[in-house]
């Protein structure tokens, strides 16, 4: 077996765990099945992770990073601030569409942690990480296209985490792509309306012109 840094081994096992858990469920994912998926021995697993809690925390962080990476790369200045915000949402949504099993896993991880004594802090950390992620993206956007917020950044971050979390679950259950896109437009308009540029103008937020939102 080729030697590699422990951090790389952790990443390898974490990605293997995501695949196994998305396929078999969190409760049925064993260290043996994860090691088999990663092609490593049990001793390597126990060297990298001292508990299942540590593994689940690594899985939560990795899944969140998958989503933030595509959004971070998509946030670059467009013609308007609104267009830039919408591009970031679209990048995240494209990731949801391409990886539904991975996003479904995030909800299973939450329920698993909340129902298992001693694991509750993982669910809290998961949602704190979502808020931290949106705070980072907001600050990245403010550096690229300076603007002022009409609400505290941490409040907006919590709002965005709640909206995208709920919309993702709604999409996984109902699968209505057109409605999901229309809701993303609405969220974008709302966020744009909470900003002011240096000259005092609000970001352009066109009137909603999408399909009916009834489902």
Condensed to tens digits (0 to 9), the pLDDT of residues 43-101 reads 999 999 999 899 999 999 999 999 888 988 998 889 999 999 999 999 999 999 999 99
Asked if pLDDT for residue 208 goes beyond 70, the answer is no
**Can you give the CATH number for the domain in which 121 is found?**
1.10.357.10
Co-location of 29 and 69 in the same domain: no
The predicted structure's pLDDT at residue 12: 96
Whether residue 44 is contained in a domain is answered as yes
Are 106 and 159 part of one and the same domain?
yes
> Given 31, 49, 67, which residue is the final one in a domain?
49
In a shared domain, residues 97 and 148: yes
Q: What is the pLDDT of residue 203?
A: 52
pLDDT value for 207: 44
At 198 the pLDDT is 55
- Give CA separation, 8 vs 13, 38, 40, in Å: 9, 12, 13
Residue 1: pLDDT above 70?
A: no
Q: How confident is the model at residue 214 (pLDDT cuts 50, 70, 90)?
A: very low
Distance between CA 16 and CA 111 in Å, rounded?
21
Residues 97 and 26 in one domain: no
- Each residue of 123-149: pLDDT tens digit? 999 999 999 999 999 999 999 999 999
Residue 208 lies in a domain: no
> Is residue 211 assigned to a domain?
no
Confidence (pLDDT) at 67: 85
- Say if residue 34 is in the same domain as residue 57: no
Would you say residue 202 lies in a domain? no
Taking alpha carbons only, the member of 23, 183, 213, 199 closest to residue 108 is 23
The answer to whether position 213 is within a domain reads no
Asked if 114 and 189 sit in the same domain, the reply is yes
- The pLDDT score that the predictor gives to residue 201 is 52
pLDDT given for residue 115 in this prediction: 94
Does residue 137 share a domain with residue 41?
A: no
Structure confidence by residue, pLDDT tens digits, 9-42? 999 999 999 999 999 999 999 999 999 999 999 9
Residues 86, 43, single domain; the answer is no
Tell me, yes or no, whether 10 lies in a domain: yes
Please name the residue that has the structure tokens 């792509």: 177
Q: What is the CATH number of the domain that holds 10?
A: 1.10.10.60
* Co-location of 180 and 92 in the same domain: yes
**Do 100 and 36 have their domain in common?**
no
**113 and 8 inside one domain:** no
Q: Per the domain annotation, does 136 fall within a domain? A: yes
Is 209 part of any domain?
A: no
pLDDT for res 206? 46
Query: How far is residue 121's CA from residue 108's CA, in Å, rounded to a whole number?
Result: 15
Residue 151 confidence class, pLDDT cut points 50, 70, 90? very high
Give residue 56's domain range.
51-197
Do both 82 and 169 map to the same domain?
A: yes
Count of domains observed in the chain: 2
Token readout for 61 is 């962080």
Task: For CA atoms 126, 129, 131, 134, give the dihedral sign.
Answer: negative
Which pLDDT value is given to residue 4? 77
């Amino acid at each position: 077996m080729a030697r590699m840094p422990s951090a790389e081994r952790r990443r390898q096992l974490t990605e293997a765990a995501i695949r196994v858990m998305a396929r078999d469920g969190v409760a049925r994912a064993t260290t043996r099945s994860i090691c088999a998926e990663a092609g490593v021995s049990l001793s390597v697993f126990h060297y990298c992770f001292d508990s299942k809690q540590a593994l689940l925390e690594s899985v939560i962080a990795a899944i969140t990073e998958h989503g933030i990476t595509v959004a971070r790369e998509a946030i670059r200045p467009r013609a308007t601030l609104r267009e830039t915000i919408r591009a970031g949402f679209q990048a995240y949504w494209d990731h949801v569409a391409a990886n539904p099993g991975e996003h479904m896993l995030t909800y299973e991880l939450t329920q698993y942690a909340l129902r298992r004594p001693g694991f509750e802090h993982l669910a809290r950390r998961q949602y704190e990480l979502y808020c931290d992620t949106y705070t980072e993206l907001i600050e990245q956007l403010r550096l690229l296209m300076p603007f002022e917020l009409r609400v505290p950044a941490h409040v907006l971050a919590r709002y965005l985490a709640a909206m995208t979390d709920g919309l993702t679950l709604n999409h996984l259950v109902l699968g209505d792509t057109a409605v999901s896109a229309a809701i993303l437009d609405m969220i974008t308009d709302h966020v744009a309306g909470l900003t002011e540029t240096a000259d005092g103008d609000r970001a352009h937020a066109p009137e909603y012109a999408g399909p009916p939102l009834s489902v």
